[in-house]
Copies of this chain bind each other. A is one copy, B any other.
Amino acid sequence: MTQRKSKADRRIELIDAARRAMIQHGAEGVHLNQIAEEAGLTSGAVLYHYPDLRDLLIEAHHAGMERFYEQRMKKITGIADPAQKLIVTIRSGLPQGPDDAGVRLLCELGGAAGRNRVYGTLLTTLYDRQVAMYQTILEVGAAHNAFTLAQDSETIGRNLVALEDAYGYRIVARHHSIGADEAVELILGYARLATGHALKLTAAPHRTTAARRPATPRAQSA
């Protein structure tokens, strides 16, 4: 038998398993057995911890968002220069590639958010938090005279997050000429106009091209 775990530990594992399963099979198309398998358990055990599967899915989405947001924050804390901070923040909001787990999960949610209020709220909340994050960077930069904002920080923040989101979708959909690097450059194009700062890239980009490996062949569903 699989090693027993405390209720709390197992629930955390299940949340993560659900997250992985949803990325593979879709936020709504995912099956109980797929989550169980991902967790190395049987379906009965999953039900023991989450009698209503929807609760698990919501928690998994919530956890995915927290993780996404925390990872971004971790990457930018400690950067003093506002311009560098802005550049790194933009990059951190984009997927590494078409298979980036964090962004994939968020994209899954987009469609469901139109039908399900809980998901809509979840996604909206994340959006607002990211806007606030950008606003802080922008205003600090303006206060330090690094940036000369051409619009109010809310407008710029909203547009920056919007651009990130949209290019995330493009990258996940494997656009042939827009990869993470290209998206960064496109978003920076706007950021330069909005901040009046040259926002020069210094560090080497994480990836160099949009072209990608042929990817692991995997059964398609719908």
CB-CB < 8 A to A24: which residues of B?
115
With an 8 Å Cβ cutoff, the count of chain A residues facing the other chain is 55
- A189 touches which of B155, B165, B170, B187 (Cβ 8 Å): B155
Judge if A208 is at the interface, Cβ distance under 8 Å.
no
Tell me if A115 and B26 are in contact (CB < 8 A): yes
Judge if A139 is at the interface, Cβ distance under 8 Å.
no
Judge if A17 is at the interface, Cβ distance under 8 Å.
no
A186 to B119, CA, bound (A): 24
- Would you give the shortest CB distance from A46 to chain B, in whole angstroms? 16
Tell me if A178 and B158 are in contact (CB < 8 A): yes
CB-CB < 8 A to A174: which residues of B?
117, 120, 124
Judge if A66 is at the interface, Cβ distance under 8 Å.
no
A162 to B159, CA, bound (A): 10
